[in-house]
Structure 1
Amino acid sequence: MAEEEQQEAPKKKKGLIKWIVLALLILGLAGGGYFAYVTFFASPSGEKAGEAAAPAPESVKGYKDLVTLPTFVVNLADPLGRRYLKLGMDVEVVDLKTVNELKQNESRVRDAVILLLSSKTYNDIGTTEGQILLRKEIVERLNQVLGGPKVLRVYFTEMVVQ
């Protein structure tokens, strides 16, 4: 009788250990799944689904409007012609009127930027100094298209050279 009681105690411990290991495994998988969801599927801006971004207040001193331009994909002016540039950018403008002007002149704006980008080589834009110079040149071109100093800065949001 005493021997049977001793054998039942280790069996109970083994069963309890199995349940603890199973619970830890499930928690680990759930944590990994949550991490994968947040990393790969959640919105990049960090907003919750169904929540609209709050507009920036115009009363903030120094606030300027940003306009996101469509992504540009152009061949670079390299000798072999095998390199291309994919560039996404936001444009900081002086007021809402300029935002509407940019949208109305989108074809002219895209044409000016495409001509500028396709005239560049990899050596021109492969360095930080070259990218800063490219930003300044884009601002100058956009101001020429819009007829005045309406574009303040250009921010590169995506840049791939291949």
Structure 2
Amino acid sequence: MSANTPAAAPAKSKKMLIIIIGVVVAVLVIGGGAAAWFISSRSHADEEDGAAPVRKEAPKVAPTFLPMENMVVNLADPGGDRFAQIGITLELEDAKTAEQVKLYLPSIRSGILMLVSQRTSTELLQREGKEKLAADILREVSRPLGYTVPTERARAAAADKEEDAEDRPSRRRTERNPVHRVLFSSFIIQ
């Protein structure tokens, strides 16, 4: 009998090892299945609750910046002894728009010079004056490209009309202006 005992011990340990590995594999499979079920049932519950499915947005393209030469302009102050030196950079949608703007640059510069020359130094020293000038320059740059930018008065009037006429169908979609913003790179008033 003593000869059978050592042989029986390795057979039992092999069987025990196989049973333990089987139990571990079964636990892992059951746990993975439960996790997959939980995740899928959670995403289905979100869809049923009316939550919008996550959409992948198109990758954003970096805007193109078009710096313009600095401009020196006499201001509309009494006496005519004040002037402004302004550096402007345009934020455009893409390089194609930059090429289009370059074609119209002489008329755009002329329009900007006319806009600035109508302002006073006190107006341009205020933040609101600079913001209004930037909006006017945006309109001036967009005009040769065929886009219209409404003035503040026009926007306010349109908002009043929309409040009065709620029964009208929604406005038709307009094209997006490829000229995003007007940035001042320098602004000196003397």
Name the TM-score, length of structure 2 as normaliser: 0.52
User: 2:115 corresponds to which letter in structure 1?
Assistant: L
| Partner secondary structure for residue 91 of structure 1 | strand
Paired positions, count = 104
- Report the counterpart of residue 35 of structure 2 in structure 1: none
How far off its partner does 1:84 sit? 0.3
Q: Where does residue 106 of structure 1 map in the other structure?
A: 105
How far apart are 1:62 and its partner, in Å?
Answer: 4.8
Take 1:92 and 1:61, find their aligned partners in 2: how far apart are those partners?
15
Q: How far is the alpha carbon of 1:152 from its aligned partner? A: 1.0
Deviations 1:58-117 (A, max 9, x none): x96152111001111110011110000000011001221210111111111111111111
Structure 1 distance, partners of 2:60, 2:69, is 28
Cα drift, residue 145 of structure 1: 2.5
- Give the partner amino acid of 2:123: D
* Structure with the greater alpha carbon radius of gyration: 2
Aligned pair 1:135/2:134, yes or no?
Answer: yes
User: How many angstroms apart in 2 are the aligned matches of 1:91 and 1:121?
Assistant: 23
Report deviation, 1:150.
Answer: 2.8
Q: Which residue of structure 2 lines up, in the alignment, with residue 84 of structure 1? A: 83
The structure 1 segments of at least 4 consecutive aligned residues displaced by more than 6 Å after TM superposition are none
For 2:92 and 2:114, the matched residues in 1 are separated by 21
Q: Which has the higher strand share?
A: 1
Kindly report the root-mean-square deviation, in angstroms, between the aligned alpha carbons of the 2 structures: 1.5
